[in-house]
Amino acid sequence: MIYIVGIGPGSRDYVTEKAVDTVKTSDFVLGSKRSLEIFETNGKKIEITVNLKNELYEFLKNYKNSNSKEKVSILSTGDPCFSGLLKTISSFDFIKKEDFEVIPGISSIQMAATKAKISWEDYNILTLHGKEENLKKLLDYVKNDEKVIFLPNNLKNDLKFLIENGISDEKEITVLENLSYSNERIIKDKISNLMENDYSYLLVCIIN
């Protein structure tokens, strides 16, 4: 059986017991170096690098072809069902829904909402990860003064797009970086000032 395991925003403190137990008893555990470091397991750890989709495809293809009954855990940051690995793995032509189970995790969206102390049900939720077409949706939300929480693809480029399409650089955005880690940072500032900073890729943004 294949398990797509949500591991939360990053810190071990936010990993569920279900995720810990599933990974510990797996024969194979696949994930990024950072993800693998969180867990203890009796199985073999396999680090996934920059060619994530291709590496997962090849491993799972071989796994399926061998008719293996071994237990495989694939670590997905946050929750697998939002900007996570569920969509990637479901897209493989040889994978059926009965081939895997999903273990939910605390998403970065949830974590950002707790830090900002807001009810995220009142916000439009959007990811720009690999979804350039969603920039237009983000622009429309901002132009219409709608609340939005979004995962940026490249924050400086995303903000530049907003400015080039009529959004004032005086607009305030809250940027939440490295949530749950020791170097967590939360900045609320004007777009013009935010453009001057450098950021990691672990970001969530809130616009009120």
Alpha helices in 66-174 (DSSP H): 85-90, 108-116, 134-143, 155-164
pTM of the predicted model as reported, rounded to 2 decimal places: 0.90
Identify the pLDDT of residue 132.
Answer: 82
Identify the pLDDT of residue 185.
Answer: 96
Identify the pLDDT of residue 32.
Answer: 94
Domain match, 96 and 153 both? no
d(CA 96, CA 30): 19
| 76: alpha, beta or left? (left if phi > 0; alpha if psi -120 to 50) | beta
Structure tokens at 39: 């867990």
Among 106, 131, 157, where does a domain finish? 106
Domain match, 113 and 101 both? no
Domain match, 120 and 169 both? yes
Identify the pLDDT of residue 50.
Answer: 81
Identify the pLDDT of residue 94.
Answer: 96
Among 106, 137, 158, where does a domain finish? 106
Residue whose C-alpha is closest to residue 14's, from 151, 201, 180: 180
Identify the pLDDT of residue 129.
Answer: 87
Per-residue pLDDT of the chain (208 residues; tens, 9 = 90+): 999 999 999 999 999 999 999 999 999 999 999 999 999 999 999 999 888 999 999 999 999 999 999 999 999 999 999 999 999 999 999 999 999 999 999 999 999 999 999 999 999 999 998 788 899 999 999 999 999 999 999 999 999 999 999 999 999 999 999 999 999 999 999 999 999 999 998 999 999 9
Domain match, 158 and 197 both? yes
Domain match, 117 and 97 both? no
Domain match, 8 and 37 both? yes
Among 83, 106, 129, where does a domain finish? 106
d(CA 182, CA 44): 28
What residues make up the domain containing 62?
A: 2-106
CATH label of the domain that carries residue 63: 3.40.1010.10
CATH label of the domain that carries residue 144: 3.30.950.10
Give Cβ neighbours of residue 73 (< 8 Å, ≥ 6 apart). 3, 5, 22, 23, 26, 28, 29, 30, 41, 43
